[in-house]
Structure 1
Amino acid sequence: MPGHVILSHGSDTGPDATKVSELAKVAEAMGWNTERPDYREDDALGHAGSVTPRIARLHDRIAACAAPPVLVGSSMGSFVSGLASLERPVAGLFLLATPSMIPGSDYAFDLREDVPTLLIHGWQDEVCPLDEIYEFARRRYLPLLVLDDDHRLGKHIDELGRQFGFFLEQLAKRT
């Protein structure tokens, strides 16, 4: 049964960013409700300064849901989605171009281990090195799809949509 999806954009973008917009369309076409919080006010505090307010904003959005939502994130949105899952119940994590840390921040990337998760990353990610998230996924035995792309994953928007649709189908079967 479809539920609710919260899609978190990366830094220096907004709620209408290409990836979160396309993934929202996929979810909505499958009957899921979606929302895309606007973190631009938080992002004005800089990368390290935006982490705590982004997590707080995401916690508020999760608390407003009737049931645990699916969290989707790109880059900084992925980072805070994983961290939010440590303190709030979520149904799944679909995370793109995930940084393992944010320079100047006290946080390191983490997530709840009992939550269905898919990590997607680019081989040529120039912002968030693949080695770090690969090692994270290896230690946790998490699925990691690596695409021939850079940090933006812009050459694979259709593939991201297909993967997300399959991910949501699998979650819907679990309920």
Structure 2
Amino acid sequence: MPEMSEPRVVFAHGKESGPWGSKIQHLAAIARSQGFAVESLDYSDLMDASARVERLLAHAPTGTPLMLVGSSMGGYVAAMACEALAPDALLLMAPALYLEGYPGDPSHCPDDTVVIHGWDDDIVPLEGSYAFASARRAALHVVADGHRLAESIELIGELFSAQLQRARDRG
């Protein structure tokens, strides 16, 4: 059983993807290379966003530092879990915030929150990421990409790597 106080990254995948999709695999490799344990829960049996948040909260991951990462619906899940889990850092990719069926306004997000969203996202409007980031003065990176952010994987990896280093330096 892994040491629970070790540095940890917990991923939350999107509505129609799986726990080890291409973005998560790429970011997990970066996290492991920096000494972080990685977890990615499987939410594919749950279509309800609130039920996914409950699953993450029931899992109750810990780590020093702890970082949550979410994409699309998983971004909503990670953001909504911040109050209970108190992560040290949060990375959101095209988060499904402020949409019908996604209740609540995420609170208690860490100071080190990074949001990445594509200009050409046809699934989740950019306005939600802008509203979330501006209310918290979070770093917002808007890229020439679509919802999957497939063309921005290298940039996402660089931003994530820097965020991991900041989290480790603070811890």
Normalised by the length of structure 1, the TM-score is 0.88
Q: 1:116 to 1:132 in 2, by over 3 A?
A: same
Contact 1:2 1:172 in 2 (8 A): no
Residue in structure 2 matched with residue 145 of structure 1 by the alignment: 141
Aligned partner of 2:79: which letter?
A: G
Residue in structure 1 matched with residue 33 of structure 2 by the alignment: 29
Q: 1:22 to 1:58 in 2, by over 3 A?
A: same
Structure 1 stretches of 4+ moved >3 Å: none
Residue in structure 2 matched with residue 76 of structure 1 by the alignment: 73
Q: 1:69 to 1:113 in 2, by over 3 A?
A: closer
Residue in structure 2 matched with residue 99 of structure 1 by the alignment: 96
| Deviation of 1:145 (Å) | 0.7
Deviations along 1:99-128, one digit per CA (max 9) or x if unpaired, are 2234234x1342314442101111111111
Aligned partner of 1:32: which letter?
A: F
CA distance in 1, matches of 2:32, 2:104: 32
Q: 1:64 to 1:121 in 2, by over 3 A?
A: closer
CA distance in 2, matches of 1:25, 1:159: 15
Residue in structure 2 matched with residue 159 of structure 1 by the alignment: 155
Q: 1:112 to 1:131 in 2, by over 3 A?
A: same
Residue in structure 2 matched with residue 174 of structure 1 by the alignment: 170
2:51 to 45, 50, 53: 53
1:15 to 15, 19, 26: 19
| Deviation of 1:29 (Å) | 1.1
Q: 1:109 to 1:22 in 2, by over 3 A?
A: farther
Q: 1:66 to 1:148 in 2, by over 3 A?
A: closer
| Deviation of 1:56 (Å) | 1.2
Which SS does the other structure have where 2:120 is aligned?
A: coil
Normalised by the length of structure 2, the TM-score is 0.89
Any gaps of 5 or more consecutive residues in structure 1?
Answer: 44-49
Contact 2:79 2:109 in 1 (8 A): no
Residues 1:110 and 2:114 are matched in the alignment: no
| Deviation of 1:68 (Å) | 5.8
Q: 1:16 to 1:114 in 2, by over 3 A?
A: closer
CA distance in 2, matches of 1:19, 1:95: 12
